[in-house]
Amino acid sequence: MRTRRPLDLDTGSDPTSMILLDGTIKQCLEIGRTRLLAAGLVFAMAFLVVGLRLVDVSLLTDGNEPRLAAAPRSNALETIRADIVDRNGVVLATTLPTASLYANPRQVLDPEAVAARLSAALPELPGAELAAKLATEKSFVWLKRKLSPRQQHEVNRLGIPGLYFQHEPDRVYPHGALTAHVIGFAGMDNRGLSGIEQAFEERLRGATRPLALSLDLRVQHVLTEELAAAMATFRAIGAAGLVLDAESGEVVAMASLPSFDPARPGEADDDARFNRASLGVYEMGSVFKIFTTAMALDQGAVGLQDGYDVSQPIRVASYTIRDFKPKNRWLSVPEIFIYSSNIGSVHMAMDSGTPAQKAFLGNLGLTRAAQIEVPEVGQPMVPSPWREINTMTISYGHGLAVSPLQMVSAVAAVVNGGQLVPATLLKRGGGERVVVRRVLSARTSRDMRWLMRLAVQNGTGRLADAPGYLVGGKTGTADKLRGRRYARSARIASFIGAFPMDRPRYVIFAMIDEPKGIESTHGYATGGWVAAPVVRRVIERMGPLLGIQPKALDEEEGADRHLVPVNLKGTVFAAN
């Protein structure tokens, strides 16, 4: 077996050799110790530099701009915002987490190259603008707020030093422009800036319980679609419509066209953001004859069997009031309403009197701004002073401008038994007590339901008749003011109706702004040709959605006979 020979350190008996060996060992140890100290010092200095840089980035600022590690952070409560839902719980507005892109320009080595690569990934960001931001001496600049997950992924793929993400909440509107004018929108800081978002800022911020609106998204879709179709057909500049629950005052649908994307309100023009349904005020034309007739009947100025000679135009100073399609004979009150006689309406208003007209319209809420939750509410244009000529023109819908929202609320009171119910955009609970105010008698309301039904069966509103739904209503066509004159070529065409007239549940209004006549309407662009069909189609589509089935023909005829006032049974009112 092979053995290892021990190292022989024996240098003999020479003491000098022993001393030299000991010195060599000590020298080696000293050199090693020195090298270790030097290495330790280098590492310590490196850690010190890194530590100082972290302190600089994290704690120090160069003015008002936040630094890299101090990117803006939202308060925990501010990141929470309650959902907004429709009456059936469908989400109309919600909050989702998102990422915003920012940069520390001090860490960007080549601003132009980085800007070019980033602009390729995010084409909506101009390269020159990005390069300018990245070339500053600041340590924090926003590049793009609220990126989509795909956009965030594209930026991450670039792997560019100096680019970072800040996570923040994003208000999302799943149905886009469909409910934009009602819901409104929130700003970059997630605070409401219009509509329900603004009106209920305190209720929504920091809350988790959804805010339930009175809207039914299904009906909202139907109304918006039909208004848009009419706009396109008649080459109109705008449209508005509402569906109101006649008993509860709940707004089931409210549409204004053109609309806008609430996620990008800055990209829309003023006209698109303007809410024609609640903020716009218009001279409504002959739909106002509903109020003139109801006033005269309610105050006893006329009865249903009374009438007037409408064969001669009415001349007041330089004004001449005439009928669109004159009958040139005596007309009863029902005929005045059915044939939409301006002359007959003026006679009824004058027999009622100016003070009575002013008070009656005021009681219906037509001379003051509508009371509703959203801030976008128009102030009606009321004549001052209210002269006799104003009483005449207002009787047929000129000289007083109101909003569509005011119209549906007032007509609901006319048909629901005479009670003015405050309109609301919030869903009302079954046991909620609502303060109502009587504005006309139940008998007048019953008579008006019959007259409105008659106007659809035999009058100017025939195209609004949805079989089986007992639709009643009134057409309106009003010339628009252009400076100090009315322009015959620029009109508001409208129809307001209710159904079923034996017990009205919903009031529906459709308004088309500046429609143009087409061949199928023989060149006409009136409320009867333009707006009445919109209401018919809305009723035919929304009825089944809300569980209202059309009556069979015999049931409809029976209900129609029941609507006729007792003292007029057997009287025939036929179109001629």
Percent of the chain with pLDDT strictly greater than 70: 85
What is this structure's pTM? 0.82
pLDDT digits (tens, 9 = 90+) for 219-238: 999 999 999 999 999 999 99
Q: Which pLDDT value is given to residue 566?
A: 58
The whole-angstrom separation of Cα 528 and Cα 374 is 31
Lowest mean pLDDT among 49-53, 180-184, 397-401, 416-420: 49-53
Give the residue-averaged pLDDT of 279-295: 97
The full 3-state SS of 175-209, as one line of letters, equals CHHHHHHHHCEECCCCCEEEHHHHHCHHHHECCCC
Q: Which pLDDT value is given to residue 74?
A: 53
Other C-beta atoms lying within 10 Å of the C-beta of residue 40: 10
Q: Which pLDDT value is given to residue 54?
A: 53
Query: By the 8 A CB rule, do 157 and 386 touch?
Result: no
Q: Which pLDDT value is given to residue 561?
A: 72
Query: By the 8 A CB rule, do 489 and 229 touch?
Result: no
Give the residue-averaged pLDDT of 49-69: 47
**pLDDT at residue 63 tops 80:** no
pLDDT digits (tens, 9 = 90+) for 150-169: 999 999 999 899 999 988 88
Q: Which amino acid is at 147?
A: L
The whole-angstrom separation of Cα 271 and Cα 264 is 15
Q: Which pLDDT value is given to residue 357?
A: 98
More confident residue, 186 or 33: 186
Other C-beta atoms lying within 10 Å of the C-beta of residue 86: 23
Percent of the chain with pLDDT strictly greater than 90: 71
Q: Which pLDDT value is given to residue 483?
A: 74
Lowest mean pLDDT among 321-335, 377-391, 562-576: 562-576
Query: By the 8 A CB rule, do 247 and 505 touch?
Result: yes
Q: Which pLDDT value is given to residue 436?
A: 92
Q: Cβ contacts of residue 175 below 8 Å, gap of 6+?
A: 92, 217
Tokens (6 digits) for 537: 């189609």
CA dihedral sign, ordered 137, 139, 144, 148 = positive
The whole-angstrom separation of Cα 326 and Cα 328 is 6
Q: Which amino acid is at 346?
A: V
pLDDT band at 568 (very low <50, low <70, confident <90, very high): low
Measured between its terminal Cα atoms, the distance across the chain in Å is 138
- List for the chain the helix, strand, coil content (%; round to 5): 40, 20, 40
pLDDT band at 59 (very low <50, low <70, confident <90, very high): very low
Q: Which pLDDT value is given to residue 29?
A: 61
Give the residue-averaged pLDDT of 337-346: 96
Q: Which pLDDT value is given to residue 467?
A: 95
The whole-angstrom separation of Cα 104 and Cα 491 is 57
Phi, psi angle pair for 247, to nearest 5° = -95, -40
pLDDT digits (tens, 9 = 90+) for 346-377: 999 999 999 999 999 999 999 999 999 999 99
**Which of 9-13, 68-72, 204-208, 497-501 shows the highest mean pLDDT?**
497-501
Contacts 24+ apart (CB under 8 A), 556-565: 556/467, 556/468, 556/470, 559/470, 559/500, 559/501, 559/502, 560/453, 560/457, 560/470, 562/502, 563/446, 563/449, 563/450, 563/453, 563/501, 563/502, 564/450, 565/304, 565/446, 565/447, 565/450
Other C-beta atoms lying within 10 Å of the C-beta of residue 43: 10
Query: By the 8 A CB rule, do 423 and 404 touch?
Result: no
Q: Which pLDDT value is given to residue 167?
A: 87
C-alpha count within 13 angstroms, C-beta hemisphere, residue 101: 24
Burial of 480 (0-12, 13-18, 19+ CB in 10 A): middle
C-alpha count within 13 angstroms, C-beta hemisphere, residue 468: 12
Torsion of CA 28, 30, 35, 37, to 10 degrees: 160
Q: Cβ contacts of residue 462 below 8 Å, gap of 6+?
A: 456, 528, 532
Lowest mean pLDDT among 56-70, 241-255, 502-516: 56-70
More confident residue, 2 or 322: 322
Q: Which pLDDT value is given to residue 183?
A: 98
286 annotated active-site: yes
Beta bridge partners of 171: 95
Q: Which pLDDT value is given to residue 558?
A: 74
Phi, psi angle pair for 13, to nearest 5° = -100, 15
pLDDT band at 430 (very low <50, low <70, confident <90, very high): confident
Query: By the 8 A CB rule, do 405 and 277 touch?
Result: yes
pLDDT band at 70 (very low <50, low <70, confident <90, very high): very low
Give the residue-averaged pLDDT of 520-546: 97
The whole-angstrom separation of Cα 444 and Cα 447 is 5
Q: Residue 343's closest CA among 318, 357, 325, 322?
A: 322
Q: Which pLDDT value is given to residue 67?
A: 38
CA dihedral sign, ordered 452, 458, 461, 462 = positive
Give the residue-averaged pLDDT of 532-559: 90
Lowest mean pLDDT among 45-54, 244-253, 287-296: 45-54
pLDDT digits (tens, 9 = 90+) for 436-452: 999 999 999 999 999 99
pLDDT band at 570 (very low <50, low <70, confident <90, very high): low
Q: Which amino acid is at 122?
A: L
Tokens (6 digits) for 122: 């995010």
CA dihedral sign, ordered 229, 230, 236, 240 = negative
**pLDDT at residue 7 tops 50:** no
Q: Which pLDDT value is given to residue 17?
A: 52
Phi, psi angle pair for 84, to nearest 5° = -110, 130
Tokens (6 digits) for 265: 């309100």
pLDDT band at 567 (very low <50, low <70, confident <90, very high): low
Give the residue-averaged pLDDT of 51-76: 47
**Which of 26-35, 315-324, 335-344 shows the highest mean pLDDT?**
335-344
Write down the catalytic residue from 214, 248, 286, 409.
286
**pLDDT at residue 560 tops 90:** no
**pLDDT at residue 324 tops 70:** yes
Tokens (6 digits) for 495: 């129809």
Tell me how many degrees the CA angle 232-237-238 measures, rounded to the nearest 5. Answer: 85
Q: Which pLDDT value is given to residue 556?
A: 76
Give the residue-averaged pLDDT of 120-140: 91
Lowest mean pLDDT among 228-237, 395-404, 427-436: 427-436
Q: Cβ contacts of residue 56 below 8 Å, gap of 6+?
A: none
pLDDT band at 575 (very low <50, low <70, confident <90, very high): very low
**Across all residues in the chain, what is the average pLDDT?**
88
